Structure 1
Amino acid sequence: MGLAAGVLLAAMMFPAVGGVGLLAAQISDSAVGTSSDLQSGTMPAATVVTDSAGAPIAYLYSQYRVPVASAGIAPAMKAAIVAIEDRRFYQHGGFDVVGAARALVNNSGGGATQGASTLTEQYVKNYDLYVAATTDAQRRAAVAPSYARKIKEAELAVSLDSRLSKDEILTRYLNIVYLGHGAYGVAAAAKAYFGTTPDQLTVPQAALLAGLVQSPADYDPARHPDAALGRRNVVIEQMRQQGSITAQQAAAAAAAPLGVLPNVSVPSAGCVGAGDAGYFCSYLLSYLQEAGITSAQLTGGGYTIRTTLNRDAQTKLKAAVDGQVDPTTPHVADVMSVVQPGADAHQVVAMAANRTYGNAPGESSFGLPYQPENMGAGSVFKIFTAATAMEKGIVGIDSIIDVPGSGYTTPLYHDPAGRPIPVHNAGNYASQLSLTDALAQSPNTAFVKLEESTGVPPVVDMAERLGMTSLATTPSGRAGSPSVADVARSQNQMSFTLGVSPTSDLELANVAATLASHGMWCPPSPVESVTDRTGAPVTVTQPPCRQVLDPAIADTLMNGLSKDEQPGGTSAAAAASMGWNRPIAAKTGTTNDYKSAAFVGATPQMAGASIVFDDSASPRPICDGTPPYSCSGGNIYGGKAPARTFYRAMGDILDGQPVVPLPPPDPRYLNGSQS
């Protein structure tokens, strides 16, 4: 019987679904790949995300599949699938006329329905279903009892058989086929069912997997162990009859228990499976997509993404965050990011929130540590006013600046009606302080007055330069409205130095990293490398590092921020309570209504920022306590829970590393050149 007759015979094996007049329509509905597509053999593969040591933290996929080469598949697995699915695999040319005739006779005689598909045809069908099809209609057409589909599959199978070796076809089939519980391909199934690799599969294990092809649901060993056992033993007997195993091996295999894992499953898809690293994982995905890597590439490209995440640092950071604010605390989020400074990269070492990452009740998948939070960071923004004034030569860190009394007004700070807005202090201060002491004690009036000399737009520019890049992209109101930065400049918002703008915790940590890098800004990168399934590097387009502040100013400002944890500084009590004993450049901040508070700090080795804020839809003031809680008045400060979070986390992360002094100040910036 020739090919044409054989194909016609194959078509006759299906129940009538309409006349031959439907043939053209059925072909057009199908997404069967071309011969060249099938010959390339590329199929969706899971991407693995690892920490900096190479240990997996998450898997990204639409189909959990890990393609392996022929040498990575046990001979028993190949023998089992041939024995039960296509015993004449090595004799036919892609389409089995003998098998088709046998199935036709069996079906017409009332026996069990047989499709007579060869492994090569099944590979074509699976490729159509799992690779070529992109719509629901195409996926339905890929498995419909269609004359057109069967004929097309047979034609392509014959074409493939003439171009590829039998072993290559078999390997591709074993890599593409669905085997239940979310496992696509033999490698995924070996891990899901037995916790092993496909090259280590035993005869009974291979037979169980081969038996699943007919119906992964009906023969699921986790839900239907008796049916699975019976089906497995049928495969074993077929292997014996084929001569791929001896009678003694068959008896031993049939006597073996199923041996599947108690919890048959594949790894969770996406960042939900990353546990405490979920927020870091989420930031990684947004970073890669901004760098030009698409979601389809990430979920089907089989990439290996080695990240900058330090697992030990992540564990310590999560403990510090949860230690201050329990994950279930209503209205109170505690987030912190840690960035390693450097002249050619700012690597994100760890990122955490007290909220458990996820989509279940009480969890959050919003980017709490890296997306701007609307309440602001308070007096932390005084860093930008100080840096601007130093760059302009108005002051140096030893310069004496005025500290007007609480209630100070300036014609530059007014409400929409033009009435001056009084600026209040949170305590009593000397009428004059050095810039260093003013940064440590944080009187509001001193920095609003200093901002009169710098002007608001240069301070906003400085904030963006040092790392607050989202100020230029975050709308000030509804979508499409001017950015926060543009409004601050155009409206001359003197309140900018008081930190009322939406603030990203990660960006704040990167500001500290920029100062610790002698004024060199780099994007806060979570990526060490990306490689494709062949091991070839994948280009990740990242903004280049750039010198945004004179190194002498950056080093001197680090010194100017060095008294925050010392007696009289706003975080002295928190530092003492956590046993902090290293030089640090730091600044606290609290918003006027106590709905958020922040702490930012840097040593020469590591930088970070912590923000405690109300993450609910209706923010309320926060009171400091154990843990902090939502209240009517509020008394949270950056020197309380945020500073305690930072000092515990950073102290644990740096434990065992040498104590490094801050860089010395440059004499040119001890006093302003305009003095």
Structure 2
Amino acid sequence: MSNRPLASAGRAVPLLRAGLIAGIVVAAAAYPLAAVTGIGAKATAHAVEQKTSILKTALPAETSYLYAPDGRTVLTMFYEEYRQYTKIQDMSPNIQQAIVAAEDNRFYQHRGVDPKGVARAFVANARSSGVSQGASTLTMQYVRMALRDSASTPKEVQEATQQTSLRKVKEMRMALDVEKELTKEQILERYLNSAYFGHRAYGIYAASEIFFSKTPATLSPVEAATLAGLVKSPSEYDPITSDQKDATGRRNYVLDNMARLGYLSPDAVAAAKSQPIRLKLTNPPNDCASITQQYRSWGFACDYLKNWWSAQPAFGENRLERMDKLRRGGYRIVLSIDPKIQSAAETNVGAKDNTGSPFANGIVVAEPGTGRIKAMAVNRNYSLDLSENGPSSNPEADPKMKANYPNTVAPLLGGGSLPGYQAGSTFKMFPMLAALNAGMPLSTAYDSPYRYKSAVYDGWAPSNASGAMTGRQTMWSGFGKSVNTYFVQLEEQVGADSAVRLAEQLGLRWRTDVDKEQASPGKAKKWGAFTLGVSDATPLEMANAYAAVAADGRYCEAIPVMSITNRDGTPATYTTAGGVQREIAKPRCRQVVNADAARAATDAARCPTGDTPARGSCGGWSTADSVRGTVGRPVAGKTGTTDSTRSAWFVGYTPELAAASFIADPDNPFNAVGDGQSQIPVNAVANTLRDALKGQPTRQFTPPSDQMVG
């Protein structure tokens, strides 16, 4: 019997040591943590003060939503962490009580750090010679999550999550400070919006939707306990992929704690524990490839939105920062696509060439005066699945390479990295506009032989498409018949560089090495073939450039949105060079050519469509004379084909809308479309404008002044 007291004393030594350690930690927490041995409060003070200011206002990453123009229909979402911030009043009391029961029973008693919990954890860990129990309060856990969410570098992420004594002391100190600034309800709200529940569900809104297809406001005690139980270990207690034994055990533990804390009656807990976990799963869409089935063809417009967003300095200093803002910023984005116009575009493109054709037939519709994109359609399926695509028609490509039909996510319509397609005689608009803007009248006349030898362009000798284009031409007849030799002479007089610079002001960009060199200041003066459309362009660019002519010379940057609001409901803004705050989604317009010059260009551009100009004569025939009859209202535009008809274009506009359509093989520019298909873009534009404007009042173009007629 004499050995028993000695044995008891031996067992008590570790406990005594643990009690002493716990006492130190409790004292440190009470005063508050400045005296923790070996840490050095001064070394951490600056970092703590910095981080505390962040925590007072820290908001976690939040999902951005893309809406149809009605502002209600969700097309898709953008997120790295699926989350929608939810106010605590919009959460069921069940989830508030369940998370306290699961993670911090004394949440409403302590002030950020729980001395009793710290002491208990030290004793338990000393007994187990390891880490068997933690002492993190809900507030401390929130601090850790907020630091992680506000981290902008890998080092900051590591500092926020690494398992070290220094990190724990910082966390405890900040928890004490946070509790001085925020109420318990505010801390609980932020915690429930930050916690990870598994399956990419960050925050209670996402967890409620993904696991139970409901909002946090309607969670039952059983559902709330199931979700609260996941926070400790989302993979271990996952009710989706496991046999639910562990998930059920964890749920029941939470329910028992809810009873101990007085949140549920013993009978209610017994009834709840008798129920199996019944899931109703939802898989939230993410990014353009998962756009809702009803609007799947809008994927190309969604893709353009991303490319546009990544080029906006308002969202960050570089592409990575801007895309990070899109996926974490909680924006509400309303797309500018008009359902009626988009439907018309899809119908009239799809009717001309099916998705299984190597030739892409696409159309973009822009709104004059705003630059807003109203339709983007192409005979392709927007999809990441390229497994069933046809072989590439490009002989220089990898023989194993798949072509971009019937499925693709390539930016065939513009706004991405693809250079586009040679646009042919649609480029004749640029030297004509430059000449008119310089004061040359529509009646400017040149003799147009079948072949013209240019002295300005070092003996270059372009020819016309046919001998019927010979004779004396004006801007009306030259544009209507697409007379190459007329426009070479016009370009010589106004200067090819003037036409190139004007095209740039109207939104065109040079993407190939050849185009960049030819458009350079040292070369542009000699780029005689510019007027023939030898440069690549996209239908997005061409629709918007012609829209500026329809808007009396006022160019508006192409924009794919009606509105962008921040997570707090305020409009997203940027600061101009002059220090003025402007909404990002508002049109950005500037006068590029004078209004009278633009009206004169429109008068000439009525000739190709079979319309009648207000002032001059088209000379008897035109290249797309069916358009006026199809559209049924005043319309202007221009056809364009390239050598051997490798691509064919038509750009047309009314006062309300401008549309550009092309047909080409994006995989192989040498695969000729052929003359037999050159009418396809003409019909696509004419039919789309007709259908889009059906039922709207007819608007007239404003005629040019006498000075512009000459």
Return the TM-score normalized by structure 2. 0.79
Match for 2:421 among 360, 375, 380?
375
The corresponding residue for 2:456 is 412
Amino acid of the residue matched to residue 312 of structure 2? E
In the aligned structure 2, how far is the partner of 1:339 from the partner of 1:411? Answer: 39
> RMSD between aligned alpha carbons?
3.6
Q: Are 1:585 and 2:636 counterparts? A: yes
Shift of 1:104: 4.3
Mark the CA change 1:580 to 1:163 in structure 2 (over 3 Å): closer, same or farther: closer
- Where does structure 1 lack aligned partners over 5 or more consecutive residues? 12-19, 624-633
In the aligned structure 1, how far is the partner of 2:195 from the partner of 2:105? Answer: 18
Shift of 1:83: 1.0
In the aligned structure 2, how far is the partner of 1:327 from the partner of 1:3? Answer: 76
Shift of 1:76: 0.9
Amino acid of the residue matched to residue 619 of structure 1? P
SS of 1:463 mapped into structure 2: helix
Write out per-residue CA displacement over residues 50-72 of structure 1, whole angstroms, 9 at most, x where no aligned residue.
Answer: 34321333433332222222212
Match for 2:77 among 38, 52, 59?
59
Match for 2:524 among 489, 492, 506?
489
The corresponding residue for 1:518 is 552
Mark the CA change 1:549 to 1:130 in structure 2 (over 3 Å): closer, same or farther: closer
SS of 1:470 mapped into structure 2: coil
The corresponding residue for 2:58 is 41
In the aligned structure 2, how far is the partner of 1:248 from the partner of 1:318? Answer: 60
Counting only pairs closer than 5 Å after superposition, residues 249-288 of structure 1 correspond to structure 2 as 249-256=268-275, 258-262=277-281, 264-269=282-287, 273=291, 275-288=296-309
Q: Are 1:439 and 2:467 counterparts? A: no
Shift of 1:587: 0.6
Write out per-residue CA displacement over residues 298-336 of structure 1, whole angstroms, 9 at most, x where no aligned residue.
Answer: 333323333423244334434433443444533x33332
Q: Are 1:219 and 2:237 counterparts? A: yes
Mark the CA change 1:521 to 1:163 in structure 2 (over 3 Å): closer, same or farther: closer
SS of 2:675 mapped into structure 1: coil
Q: Is the 8 A contact 1:212 1:220 kept in 2?
A: yes
The corresponding residue for 2:536 is 502
In the aligned structure 2, how far is the partner of 1:31 from the partner of 1:178? Answer: 24
In the aligned structure 2, how far is the partner of 1:323 from the partner of 1:134? Answer: 51
The corresponding residue for 1:668 is 707
In the aligned structure 1, how far is the partner of 2:240 from the partner of 2:50? Answer: 34
Amino acid of the residue matched to residue 569 of structure 1? S
Match for 2:258 among 227, 239, 245?
239
Say which is worse superposed, 302-311 or 510-519, in terms of deviation. Answer: 302-311
Aligned length: 630
Shift of 1:495: 0.7
In the aligned structure 1, how far is the partner of 2:498 from the partner of 2:236? Answer: 69
Match for 1:124 among 140, 143, 151?
143
The corresponding residue for 2:651 is 600
The corresponding residue for 2:153 is 134
Match for 1:646 among 668, 685, 706?
685
In the aligned structure 1, how far is the partner of 2:356 from the partner of 2:113? Answer: 61
Q: Is the 8 A contact 2:419 2:512 kept in 1?
A: no
Write out per-residue CA displacement over residues 467-515 of structure 1, whole angstroms, 9 at most, x where no aligned residue.
Answer: 13425xx46449xx6572535523x221111011221322211222112
Mark the CA change 1:6 to 1:138 in structure 2 (over 3 Å): closer, same or farther: farther
In the aligned structure 1, how far is the partner of 2:211 from the partner of 2:523? Answer: 58
Q: Are 1:74 and 2:95 counterparts? A: no
Write out per-residue CA displacement over residues 523-578 of structure 1, whole angstroms, 9 at most, x where no aligned residue.
Answer: 223343333222233324578533333323322332322233339432345777xx
Shift of 1:603: 0.8
In the aligned structure 1, how far is the partner of 2:441 from the partner of 2:249? Answer: 85
The corresponding residue for 2:333 is 305
Q: Is the 8 A contact 1:460 1:488 kept in 2?
A: no
Q: Is the 8 A contact 2:412 2:420 kept in 1?
A: no
Shift of 1:661: 3.1
Mark the CA change 1:242 to 1:496 in structure 2 (over 3 Å): closer, same or farther: same
SS of 1:453 mapped into structure 2: helix
Q: Are 1:571 and 2:571 counterparts? A: no
SS of 1:88 mapped into structure 2: coil
Q: Are 1:559 and 2:610 counterparts? A: no
SS of 2:537 mapped into structure 1: coil
Write out per-residue CA displacement over residues 91-140 of structure 1, whole angstroms, 9 at most, x where no aligned residue.
Answer: 222222323344445455559932232111111222233333620x5545
Amino acid of the residue matched to residue 463 of structure 2? V
Shift of 1:360: 4.6
Shift of 1:349: 1.9
Write out per-residue CA displacement over residues 418-443 of structure 1, whole angstroms, 9 at most, x where no aligned residue.
Answer: x5334241574353455333323323
In the aligned structure 2, how far is the partner of 1:334 from the partner of 1:569? Answer: 23
The corresponding residue for 1:627 is none
Mark the CA change 1:36 to 1:290 in structure 2 (over 3 Å): closer, same or farther: closer
Shift of 1:141: 4.9
In the aligned structure 2, how far is the partner of 1:119 from the partner of 1:40? Answer: 17
Q: Are 1:50 and 2:67 counterparts? A: yes
Counting only pairs closer than 5 Å after superposition, residues 381-460 of structure 1 correspond to structure 2 as 381-396=427-442, 401-405=446-450, 407-414=451-458, 420-425=460-465, 428-429=468-469, 431-460=471-500
In the aligned structure 1, how far is the partner of 2:147 from the partner of 2:226? Answer: 25
Write out per-residue CA displacement over residues 342-394 of structure 1, whole angstroms, 9 at most, x where no aligned residue.
Answer: 2xx33222333444446553423446423563532100011223333434454
The corresponding residue for 1:339 is 366
In the aligned structure 2, how far is the partner of 1:551 from the partner of 1:504? Answer: 25
Mark the CA change 1:525 to 1:143 in structure 2 (over 3 Å): closer, same or farther: closer
Shift of 1:183: 1.6
Q: Is the 8 A contact 1:192 1:265 kept in 2?
A: yes
Shift of 1:40: 2.1
Amino acid of the residue matched to residue 55 of structure 2? L
Shift of 1:153: 1.9
The corresponding residue for 2:594 is 550
Match for 2:695 among 629, 648, 656?
656
Match for 1:615 among 648, 666, 672?
666
Return the TM-score normalized by structure 1. 0.83
In the aligned structure 2, how far is the partner of 1:498 from the partner of 1:279? Answer: 29
Amino acid of the residue matched to residue 380 of structure 1? T
SS of 1:660 mapped into structure 2: coil
Amino acid of the residue matched to residue 290 of structure 1? Q
Amino acid of the residue matched to residue 388 of structure 1? A
In the aligned structure 2, how far is the partner of 1:156 from the partner of 1:96? Answer: 13
Say which is worse superposed, 177-186 or 197-206, in terms of deviation. Answer: 197-206
Shift of 1:521: 1.9
Shift of 1:273: 4.4
The corresponding residue for 2:390 is none
Match for 1:464 among 500, 504, 511?
504
Q: Is the 8 A contact 2:600 2:704 kept in 1?
A: yes
The corresponding residue for 1:84 is 102
Counting only pairs closer than 5 Å after superposition, residues 101-180 of structure 1 correspond to structure 2 as 101-107=119-125, 113-132=132-151, 134-135=153-154, 138-180=156-198
Q: Are 1:321 and 2:339 counterparts? A: no
Write out per-residue CA displacement over residues 603-653 of structure 1, whole angstroms, 9 at most, x where no aligned residue.
Answer: 11111212223322x422332xxxxxxxxxx3366x522223223333332
SS of 1:598 mapped into structure 2: strand
Q: Is the 8 A contact 1:49 1:59 kept in 2?
A: yes
